Amino acid sequence: MPSHIPLAAADRKRLATLAARAALSGVTLHHMEGDFVPHLFVCSRWALTREFTDLDAVERWLDLVGGRRAAEGVPPT
């Protein structure tokens, strides 16, 4: 089991930005320690829950869920 490894300052800011993007798409984004990985990111929308081990994967998934407009920071109409 890995010991606690805090997120770097740049990753904390990126996580906050991705959490805001997620919220615009109706998705919740949580960061926690994983059992076998130092960081686990969990996204939930309705009955769908996805786990990711890095912020790049979270960002790609949010691009799929929210579409191009969400990636550009444009709220849904």
pLDDT of residue 4: 67
For residue 14, how many other CB atoms are within 10 A of its CB?
16
Rounded to whole angstroms, the Cα distance separating 24 from 8 reads 25
pLDDT band of residue 1 (cuts 50, 70, 90) is very low
Within 8 A by CB and 6+ apart from 48, the residues are none
Percent of the chain with pLDDT over 90: 49
Within 8 A by CB and 6+ apart from 9, the residues are none
pLDDT of residue 16: 95
